[in-house]
Structure 1
Amino acid sequence: MGLTTTQFDVIATLGNQPPMTCKDLGEKTLVTKGTLTGVLERLEVKGILERKLNPEDARSQMIGLTKEGQALFERVFPMHLQHLEKAFSKLSEKELAEVTKSLQVINHIFTN
């Protein structure tokens, strides 16, 4: 799709969402601040995302997709879902249940 894994992760996180702070984006993507800064700069240069001052805190910026970025999200995300569906369809119902349970445990560890 012409995107790095991290670029795709950022676009997928911002897609169909209101703009968010860099801190929130980093927490949602698990991308370090240093890496995220470079990724955001490259996506901004490509016209995929924009930064605006945070109206609630002028020390931070709100990161959101541009119209072009949202169109890119709407084009690539369905392909990503098809790719995942193809991969996960190879699992039995029991295996899928086990994977789901394991991911829920991992999610709980990271969010609590």
Structure 2
Amino acid sequence: MDQQNNRLKAFTVLMRASQSVQEASKSKHVKQGINPTEFAVLELLFHKGDQPIQAIGKKILIASSSITYVVDKLEEKQYVTRKACPTDRRVTYASITDEGKKLMEQIFPIHIEKIEEIFNELTDEEILILIDLLKKVGYNAKKL
């Protein structure tokens, strides 16, 4: 195989692997009535605390235009509330509720188990190599 074909194959394998990992990791929280984006927002708030709604998109890698919709849905489910910033009227924070924390305490350990299962074919050394290689590809793609 020539260099160009190897790069095309690497791209295809990366995209398919990414899709498979996403499918495998979302199965448990979807059963709880939340989609992967809602889970990502809850996970961020659960682990990092209140976040400015405007900043959430960058942190969980989704379009900022979608964040308001996602926060609305989580608010309807009573997993998140909005809080005004006391020092800047332009900023609104998303905050996880006790109900949201209870949900995450229930499903996050299951999520961790699933991630462990997904990567159990790799040694610790291979995982570190994979991280480095994916970062290298990601940073290069970001520069383009």
CA shift for structure 1 position 53? 0.4
The answer to whether the 8 Å contact 1:16/1:70 transfers is no
> 1:100 pairs with 128, 131, 134, which one?
131
Higher helix share: 2
Aligned to 1:91: 122
The 3 A distance-change label for structure 1 pair 55 and 5 is same
Deviation for aligned residue 1:12: 0.8
CA distance change for structure 1 residues 35 and 102 in 2, over 3 Å: closer, same or farther?
Answer: same
Q: What corresponds to 1:14 in structure 2?
A: 45
CA distance in 1, matches of 2:106, 2:140: 31
Please state whether the residue corresponding to 1:64 is helix, strand or coil. strand
In 2: Cα distance, 1:93 partner to 1:70 partner: 31
Q: Residues 3-82 of structure 1: matches in 2 within 5 Å? A: 3-82=34-113
Aligned identity (percent) is 28
- Residue 45 of structure 1 and its aligned partner are, at CA, apart by 0.6
Equivalent residue of 1:82, what SS? helix
State the TM-score, normalizing by the size of structure 2: 0.68
Give structure 2 stretches of 5+ with no counterpart.
Answer: 1-28
Q: Decide which structure has the larger Cα Rg and report it.
A: 2
Higher relative contact order (CA 8 A, sep 6+): 1
- Equivalent pairs counted in the alignment come to 110
Deviations 1:22-72 (A, max 9, x none): 122111111112211111101001100000101121111011100001111
Structure 1: gaps of 5 or more residues: none
TM value normalised by structure 1: 0.86
What is the aligned-residue RMSD (CA, Å)?
Answer: 2.0
Structure 1 residue 18: deviation in Å?
A: 2.2
**C-alpha separation in 2, matches of 1:24 and 1:39:** 13
